Amino acid sequence: MRKFFFLLFVLLCGLQISSWSQSKDELESQRKQIQQEIEELRKSQSSIKKDKKESLGQLARIRNLIKKRDAVIETINRQVRLINDDIHTNNREIARLKNELDTLKAQYAKTIEYAYKNRSSYDMLNFIFSAVSFNDAIKRITYLKAYREYRGKQVDNIHQTQLLLAQKNQTLAENKNLKTQTLAVQSQQMQKLEEEKKQKDAVVSKLKLKERELDKQLTSKRKLENNIKNSIAAIIKREIMEAEKAERAKREAAAKAAGGSKPVAAASTSSRAANKLENTPEVTAVSVGFENNRRKLPWPVSKGDITGPFGRHKIEGTRLFEDNIGVYIQTNIGAPVKAVYEGTVSSVHSFGAVSAVTIRHGKYLTTYYNLIGITVNKDQEIKLGQVLGKAAESEDEDGIGKVLFVVTVVVGNNPKYLNPEDWIKPR
């Protein structure tokens, strides 16, 4: 029975170590991934043209860098907590194993002492021949045999406990060494974080001094976004008119086939709220598919970081505000921009040297702005992941690519702008 519990204990310890190792490996993989993203951000930051002054894009990139650095430090903190938990568990198990080893040794010592006192063959034979019956003699022989086996098992248990204790001590030493190394990495990351915060403060201070110039840039940006909004509104108006026209033609054809003179009202085949753009089962299916992929949609670029979040937010260090209709994604110039879901191209709209592509996914629309080298045409059927064009340089002309990604849903006759971060996969 003791051996059974010992083996069960070893198995549980193995499971605990496996679980801890899995969590540790996941955290280490996560830390390396974030650090790789940090290095890419730092490279893009260092590649900015030397003659370019501080800009909102530069401030956004440094904020992103600090955010990722915080994430690395938090990951390291979780690693340290796991190591501390394991050190505590090891210390507790070592103390328990030592107590168990002392108990096993004391029990074994008693058996040795008893065996020594009764080492005479005469005593053993006397014990057997003093049996009152043959069956009693057999039982006494069986007892003596079991007693010898018990002593052997005691020795095995002592050796196994000593081995497990040695393994625990080795693991404890390894974990203490790992903790020292992890804390050293944490210290390095903290130093880099402080340096990056100083860089951000310097950029903020310089931006604050040219607030009037920034206000002009924001005004120009709002004008551009208004043009995009007007384009999307025109697309929706046209799509609704075409849907209504198709619906009227469908009702008239049904009435004519029925031999009546009045159009027949279309029966609703869905429990969904009525939407003018969901005029066929096929279109409704695309809408439902888009909805079901909320927070699962791929990013429009393979590599990139959001430097301009959705909605209204204050620009740090100034009295100015941004109010974005989508998210601005920093990427490499010329990076392929891809459709995040299947649909139909509603518009390819030119804005000077760059273009915007709007794709309809049922009652949803996605718009991709600041593209060059457009590879699709209006009314073209698009597959998920299909390349639409390439990312153009940002308006700061700083050697960094940028894409504005917008998600819209049609409510009534009007567009409602949604936060794209609620739809694409978290990174």
Does the structure show a pLDDT above 80 at 85?
yes
Same domain? 184 vs 296: no
- Residue 425: band (very low, low, confident or very high) from pLDDT cuts 50, 70, 90: very high
Domain termination residue (choose one: 209, 224, 252): 209
Does the structure show a pLDDT above 80 at 378?
yes
Q: What is the CATH number of the domain that holds 386?
A: 2.70.70.10
Span of 19-28, 53-62, 165-174, 293-302 with lowest mean pLDDT: 19-28
For range 364-393, the mean pLDDT = 96
- Higher-confidence residue: 242 or 121? 242
pLDDT in tens, 113-171: 666 665 544 455 555 556 667 676 677 667 666 766 666 676 677 778 788 878 878 88
**CB distance 323 to 312 below 8 Å:** yes
Does the structure show a pLDDT above 50 at 15?
no
Q: Is residue 231 part of a domain?
A: no
Domain termination residue (choose one: 209, 228, 246): 209
pLDDT of residue 6: 45
| Cβ burial, residue 141 (10 Å; 0-12/13-18/19+) | middle
Same domain? 342 vs 200: no
pLDDT in tens, 297-344: 999 999 888 988 999 988 887 888 889 999 999 999 999 999 999 999
Contacting residues for 398 by C-beta, under 8 A, at least 6 apart: 48, 49, 52, 55, 57, 58
pLDDT of residue 11: 42
For range 222-244, the mean pLDDT = 91
Same domain? 342 vs 195: no
Cα–Cα distance for residue pair 224/206, rounded to 1 Å: 25
Same domain? 205 vs 277: no
Mean pLDDT of the chain: 80
Looking at residue 120, the DSSP 8-state letter turns out to be: -
Q: Is 343 helix (H, G, I), strand (E, B) or coil?
A: strand
Q: Is 232 helix (H, G, I), strand (E, B) or coil?
A: helix
Q: Is residue 245 part of a domain?
A: no
Give me the number of domains the chain comprises: 2
**CB distance 378 to 348 below 8 Å:** yes
Same domain? 142 vs 280: no
Same domain? 66 vs 175: yes
Q: 393 pairs with which residues across the strands?
A: 401
Same domain? 17 vs 163: yes
Q: Is residue 251 part of a domain?
A: no
Contacts 24+ apart (CB under 8 A), 346-352: 346/235, 346/239, 346/378, 347/231, 347/235, 347/378, 348/374, 348/376, 348/377, 348/378, 349/231, 351/224, 351/227, 351/228
- The domain of 106 spans 2-209
For range 229-244, the mean pLDDT = 91
